[in-house]
Structure 1
Amino acid sequence: MTKEMNRTRYLTLVGTIITQFALGSVYTWSLFNAQLAAKLDEPVSQVAFVFGLLSLSLAVASSMAGKLQERFGVRNVTLGAGLLLGLGFLLTAQASNLMMLYLCAGILVGFADGTGYLMTLSNCVKCFPERKGLISALAIGAYGLGSLGFKYINVLLLENTGLETTFQLWGLIAMALVLCGGMLMKDAPAQSAASQLAESRDFTLAEAMRKPQYWMLALMFLSACMSGLYVIGVAKDIGEKMVDLPVLVAANAVAVIAMANLSGRLVLGILSDKIPRIRVISLAQIITLVGMVLLLFVPLNANLFFVAVACVAFSFGGTITVYPSLVSDFFGLNNLTKNYGVIYLGFGVGSIIGSIVASLFGGFIATFNVILVLLVVALVISLTIRLPDPKTPASAKAASKGSPRLVNMTAESA
């Protein structure tokens, strides 16, 4: 690899980290629920639905980002996402009713965030095929740090400038960061013919979706997202209602979750470069099961409650970090953004399913039982799943027809 190529990929990494930090800011949304409810004279629960809509829009946009990158390139799509993100926040500041809030903050901001999130992550992972786990950990760790960093930024802005100005400044800051990050990025090079011959596992989305392994990975991801997003979203309420903790003590679950989530991203991401990634997912599933068993079957005190939610948050953070590299292990790097994009729909679907189960069947316990069953099924899958059979690359077919040298290379590698 030349010095120029090495410099380019490290600039792409820096740009991706800056962009991910800005995009992670949407996870401070809960700071605004009460003030928006007062402004619009609507129940907090109706305002809080914005975040579920945002998560769904994020997941849908992530599934489409691969096609946008193919047509316009990672830099242009990232710049467009940054501008759309800023516009979404500026319009949110002017929202005067719930529908406008849902459209601007839920759909527009969510779509912008999802367009940039998965595409820049996947592109960066493809730049470092030899260190996929570490790169995922750095990029997604930055996404998690964004929620923590912008928590302090947005609290400071709310205290000093008011609700509308906070949204405007938040949008301008996030947009500026994404634009700066986007300018540093370049599209990752496609895998060479030689590496495709050696690997013989580089599936298009249509080819991947015909493999049972694709849907096994999708179910595993959905289970992880449903458990993680549901428990993280109601952790404070669990502490108050199931453990009878005072409000201030239960609120400490937010800090515990943030630290555990970030730790899971870093620890499991780095570990995934040391041992098979599917085993890292199995480990994450077992840790989540420990947390769910504590919540369901053990009389909880404050310490056990914090351990339980930390187990779930640690595993959730680690899972979403390892999954891009895991999908590339199964289906190749060249089509990673599209192949992972459809699986990533499980992020939005999982968050909504958890809320629906809770509303239909009476809250925490019923939802925990459904999650427990899904996790057991997912663990069985992760322990038994195998890589799909290698396909014959087009380059290998061409080689078999015309190039004796490549035919010999293919035979020797076999």
Structure 2
Amino acid sequence: MMTQPSHFIRWLTLAGTILTQFALGSVYTWSLFNGPLAQKLGQPIIQVAFAFGLLSLAMAVASTTAGKFQERFGVRKVTIGAGLLLGVGLCLTGWSSSLTMLWLCTGILVGLADGIGYLLTLSNCVKWFPERKGVISACAIGAYGLGSLGFKYINSQLLAHSSLESTFALWGAIALLMVVSGAMMMKDAPRQDVRQQSAVRDYTLAESMRMPQYWLLALMFVTAFMSGLYVIGVAKDIGENLVHLTTAVAANAVTIIAIANLSGRLVLGVLSDRMSRIRVVSLAQVIAMAGMAMLLFVHLNETLFFLSLACVAFSFGGTITVYPSLVSDFFGLNNLTKNYGIIYLGFGIGSIIGSLVASLFGGFMVTFQLIAVLLVIALIISLTLRQPGDDGKHSYRLGHAHGD
């Protein structure tokens, strides 16, 4: 039974996590700055935009170290450090005088700060609420998604009324203040008593990585991210080139994706506390396949195009919300930060593979075909996967390690 002070601390930690995640999500406003930075540096936009690719990769790599940092310093100190690094990285980005400095400041400093802060605060918060992991993931990851929308307005206003350097400095200061304020509200989650968790035991990272289930979950994760990140990244171009929409109409894809993405996080996150999480992932895969089938096989008009995007974005948002809790169902809560950290590398791998296939083999359709095949394989995996030690008699309880 949780004591009153512990009950208060975990809700305070949730509030701090939401505040921190909102600030960390601000990096997804990066596209606002491609044009102004390209003009300042006298470089093509594609070279400037590469900084965000590096940032995404650094985020994925940084997530693998979050668990070790938490063990040594605790969630509060590491989050404060991530906030300081984020603020400094953004400030230095504004003063970049070359592509190399831009890539270093944005791609490395901001990416590392965001990756460590994101995974650490998320997994720590989920550990505080073992009985409602799905809802808590939805709150935290939903805040991260809302951060991109909130800061889109903030950064647009800053760009309109300040110099580029001042905009980055103010963005960095606001993000730093929010992350540090959030960190001061957080406390490390207590270790879970494994004896009370009849359905799952805690596995170390080394033990988890020796199991086929770990790598099958990782493959499903890469597939989800490849489909989501690739389609979201080129949505406007698909609208213009495949559906022959005007630039203005195709740009509405950004709004459709944002709404569907957030809806997926909230709906599937809440659903995952009421039914088997592996089945929620299966549902997300079916929805993504429906979207991909429309892109591949249907003669698209404006409505069907936006519906296909909504399917992919809904699935993507839901999957990223459910996955931390799903990994804890399979391998336990106490080592979640480390166990999920390696799987989260799929974020970077998925985005790179999608872009690479498109550039090597000539565009959208080949990439869609590959994604569709991988989604079929991932669905077969999710429908047949069993938890470690599960003999198959209790497969209906997959995802209910907390005994709902």
TM-score by length of 2: 0.95
What pairs up with 1:146-225 in 2 under 5 angstroms?
146-196=147-197, 198-225=198-225
With over 3 angstroms needed to count, the CA separation of the structure-2 counterparts of 1:186 and 1:308, relative to structure 1, is: same
- Distance in 2 (alpha carbons) for counterparts of 1:181 and 1:123: 13
Aligned to 1:331: 331
SS in 2 for 1:130: coil
Task: Give the structure with the larger helix fraction.
Answer: 1
Determine if the alignment matches structure 1 residue 61 to structure 2 residue 52: no
- Distance in 1 (alpha carbons) for counterparts of 2:11 and 2:87: 26
Coordinate RMSD, CA, aligned: 1.1
What pairs up with 1:8-27 in 2 under 5 angstroms?
8-27=9-28
Larger Rg: 1
Aligned to 2:91: 90
Question: Which amino acid is the alignment partner of residue 211 of structure 2?
Answer: K
Question: Which amino acid is the alignment partner of residue 273 of structure 2?
Answer: D
SS in 2 for 1:26: helix
* C-alpha displacement of 1:199: 3.9
With over 3 angstroms needed to count, the CA separation of the structure-2 counterparts of 1:372 and 1:3, relative to structure 1, is: same
With over 3 angstroms needed to count, the CA separation of the structure-2 counterparts of 1:365 and 1:86, relative to structure 1, is: same
Aligned to 1:48: 49
| Count of aligned pairs | 390
Aligned to 1:307: 307
* C-alpha displacement of 1:163: 1.5
Aligned to 2:352: 352
How big is each residue's C-alpha offset from its partner over 1:90-128, in whole Å with a ceiling of 9 and x where there is no partner? 110111111111100111100000010011000000000
Instruction: Tell me which stretches of 4 or more aligned residues in structure 1 moved more than 6 Å.
Output: none
* C-alpha displacement of 1:194: 3.0
* C-alpha displacement of 1:162: 2.4
User: Does the 8 Å contact 2:60/2:346 carry over to 1?
Assistant: yes
Question: Which amino acid is the alignment partner of residue 144 of structure 2?
Answer: Y
Determine if the alignment matches structure 1 residue 137 to structure 2 residue 149: no
* C-alpha displacement of 1:34: 1.1
User: Does the 8 Å contact 2:75/2:186 carry over to 1?
Assistant: yes
Question: Which amino acid is the alignment partner of residue 27 of structure 2?
Answer: V
* C-alpha displacement of 1:48: 1.0
Question: Which amino acid is the alignment partner of residue 327 of structure 2?
Answer: V
User: Does the 8 Å contact 2:62/2:116 carry over to 1?
Assistant: yes
Determine if the alignment matches structure 1 residue 232 to structure 2 residue 235: no
Aligned to 2:402: none
Question: Which amino acid is the alignment partner of residue 225 of structure 2?
Answer: C
- Distance in 1 (alpha carbons) for counterparts of 2:358 and 2:39: 26
How big is each residue's C-alpha offset from its partner over 1:359-409, in whole Å with a ceiling of 9 and x where there is no partner? 10011111111111111110110011000117xxxxxxxxxxxxxxxxxxx
- Distance in 1 (alpha carbons) for counterparts of 2:179 and 2:100: 27
- Distance in 2 (alpha carbons) for counterparts of 1:242 and 1:124: 42
SS in 2 for 1:274: coil
Aligned to 1:76: 77
Aligned to 1:381: 381
* C-alpha displacement of 1:193: 4.8
User: Does the 8 Å contact 2:59/2:112 carry over to 1?
Assistant: yes
- Distance in 1 (alpha carbons) for counterparts of 2:195 and 2:385: 27
How big is each residue's C-alpha offset from its partner over 1:212-262, in whole Å with a ceiling of 9 and x where there is no partner? 000000000000001100111111111111111111100000000000000
SS in 1 for 2:30: helix
- Distance in 1 (alpha carbons) for counterparts of 2:282 and 2:288: 10
* C-alpha displacement of 1:63: 1.1
Question: Which amino acid is the alignment partner of residue 174 of structure 2?
Answer: I
Determine if the alignment matches structure 1 residue 121 to structure 2 residue 126: no
* C-alpha displacement of 1:200: 4.6
Question: Which amino acid is the alignment partner of residue 290 of structure 2?
Answer: V
- Distance in 2 (alpha carbons) for counterparts of 1:164 and 1:227: 35
* C-alpha displacement of 1:36: 1.0
How big is each residue's C-alpha offset from its partner over 1:72-92, in whole Å with a ceiling of 9 and x where there is no partner? 000000000000000000110
Aligned to 2:37: 36
Aligned to 1:100: 101
- Distance in 2 (alpha carbons) for counterparts of 1:388 and 1:378: 18
- Distance in 2 (alpha carbons) for counterparts of 1:193 and 1:264: 31
Question: Which amino acid is the alignment partner of residue 160 of structure 2?
Answer: E
* C-alpha displacement of 1:43: 1.2
- Distance in 2 (alpha carbons) for counterparts of 1:352 and 1:177: 31
Aligned to 1:247: 247
How big is each residue's C-alpha offset from its partner over 1:130-183, in whole Å with a ceiling of 9 and x where there is no partner? 000000000000000000000000011111102211111100000100000000
Determine if the alignment matches structure 1 residue 361 to structure 2 residue 361: yes
Question: Which amino acid is the alignment partner of residue 185 of structure 2?
Answer: L
User: Does the 8 Å contact 2:200/2:330 carry over to 1?
Assistant: no
- Distance in 2 (alpha carbons) for counterparts of 1:60 and 1:311: 28
Moved more, 147-156 or 200-209: 200-209
How big is each residue's C-alpha offset from its partner over 1:23-55, in whole Å with a ceiling of 9 and x where there is no partner? 000011011111111111111111111111111
- Distance in 1 (alpha carbons) for counterparts of 2:232 and 2:373: 19
Moved more, 320-329 or 367-376: 367-376
- Distance in 1 (alpha carbons) for counterparts of 2:265 and 2:163: 34
Q: What are the ranges of 5 or more consecutive residues in structure 2 without an aligned counterpart?
A: 391-404
Question: Which amino acid is the alignment partner of residue 289 of structure 1?
Answer: M
How big is each residue's C-alpha offset from its partner over 1:272-298, in whole Å with a ceiling of 9 and x where there is no partner? 001000000000000000111111111
- Distance in 2 (alpha carbons) for counterparts of 1:244 and 1:162: 37
With over 3 angstroms needed to count, the CA separation of the structure-2 counterparts of 1:61 and 1:47, relative to structure 1, is: same
Q: What are the ranges of 5 or more consecutive residues in structure 1 without an aligned counterpart?
A: 391-414
- Distance in 2 (alpha carbons) for counterparts of 1:268 and 1:128: 17
User: Does the 8 Å contact 2:200/2:331 carry over to 1?
Assistant: no
